[in-house]
Chains A and B, each alone.
Chain A
């Protein structure tokens, strides 16, 4: 294949499929074993400084926020990250957790720019930023999920997004047309919050699936938090609903309201007040520190976090008429 041009960005994570296959052969157990543990156990066991991480879906929607808070609590400061996010990405930036990013979107949607992401980039704390589009980043997961080193696509062509990416433009060997090649992205550790899982890690997701299926399959280590842990029979009675099968999963954490202050389909709405208060706090660095102390560092775990949010607030966010 004739490569015509290359993005100037560094390929932070090389698409070594042979190594990935070996990893999946050697370290991913096929055994049905109980993988339940706490956030603290999962993060300390499966995340190491210098790792490349991914978080799905995104900050205000079905994101594994109890795990994100635990990552901050354990004081990582040199992670690499697939930068597609809102609240969770801002928190990572606020705590100077990440130094290298494959970046597609970090912001607050309705509420504008991510003040902490801005600070960490403009101050130079983040040392490496490689640009991608949203489809590109997800298709990179898909390539890894397929077990191929790259995927040809029709996005990013002709733009600076390409120029500052680590993609390549090549001549398609079948049509002769220019095509953008996206390298597979293999994560050291992936974090996904799901609607329900059994103790082995078989997962179901209600509502849109974001990029959970692809990212789960692109992760060397996969940490799942679930709104509820269900009996294996729930999974086996509807196997068509399993979006992530257990053998992809390394840890399962029961985390009711695990996406708070974001939303969870059919379970609860986003906590608008909390999100707004946080966005306002991010305008001032000392308020950010105070938020981190109050909601993360001075708190032991997710249980204590939920107590701090308060039962009344949580009950008000619940979506009524659940199928109990």
Chain B
């Protein structure tokens, strides 16, 4: 159900990663500042710059600002993160820029997410000193989730990842619900904005801050989404449809953005 079939053969026109990248790229708004993490956000930012958002200002945590993402970065500190950029600064300047309210969007990932958009990338298990799995940790995740205006999480969608309570809140979503971020001391009017998955695009209900279904990916039903989510979603009457990756998107993605096939 993740694939659309090509007309002439049974080969999918695109794979799940390509779909995630294309849908994420469409969310990147021209002329905004975007905090970019490793992986899919890098590809999406590069694709967006080439197709829809030539003035997208990419921000990488170790200092790269406003790069032209002609070559795909493999690390958030590599040379490509400031290729023909406007600044090659350092981590303090970047994090302080976000803390001052200069970063519009932040892209995030995690091993687990809950209905309030809280993310876990620290441990699997309930004992911090004896975890079942030790994950990479916060890195810049917590900082992005704390200080960027709007955050967009990119996730594979299944019941192990979309769970009622994450094992560890690494990165703040809406924490325990409406008003919780402000009560904790986080900057007002910040928080999760979208969750992009291989099944759908989700947002958050304005009042309850519960995760809400916004748009379905091609070939996916609302039931599929519900079945793969470990908590109750807000399902509105009108659900949009995400368009399939276009030929243009796929061509640029394959021939330019990731021609060495690191991700796709």
Contact = CB atoms under 8 A, between A and B. Distances in A.
A169 B184 CA distance: 9
Query: Interface of chain B, helix or strand or loop or mixed?
Result: loop
A306 interface: no
Interface residues of A, number: 61
Given A57-B62, A178-B185, A210-B62, A134 B139 contact: yes
B129 to A, nearest CB: 8
Among B81, B122, B263, residue most surrounded by chain A Cβ atoms (within 10 Å) = B122
A135 B130 contact: no
Contacts of B178: none
Interface in B97-152: 98-99, 118, 122, 128-143, 146-147
B38 A161 contact: no
Interface string B74-114: 11111101100000111110010011000000000000000
Contact of A131 (B133, B138, B187): B138
Contact of B139 (A104, A114, A139, A265): A104
Interface string A266-292: 100110100000000000000000000
Contacts of A60: 74-75, 77-78
A258 interface: no
A238 B181 CA distance: 46
A209 B63 contact: yes
| Those 3 A-B pairs whose CB atoms lie nearest each other, nearest first | A178-B185, A158-B184, A208-B63
Interface of A: 57-58, 60-62, 83-84, 86, 103-107, 109-110, 113-114, 117-118, 121-122, 124, 129, 131-136, 138-139, 142, 153-161, 164, 169, 177-180, 207-214, 263, 265-266, 269-270, 272
Interface of B: 38-39, 60-64, 74-79, 81-82, 88-92, 95, 98-99, 118, 122, 128-143, 146-147, 168-172, 175, 180-181, 183-187, 262-263
22 contacts: A58-B75, A61-B78, A83-B137, A105-B136, A105-B138, A109-B39, A110-B39, A122-B134, A134-B143, A139-B95, A153-B99, A154-B185, A154-B186, A158-B175, A158-B181, A160-B122, A178-B185, A207-B88, A210-B62, A210-B77, A211-B91, A213-B92
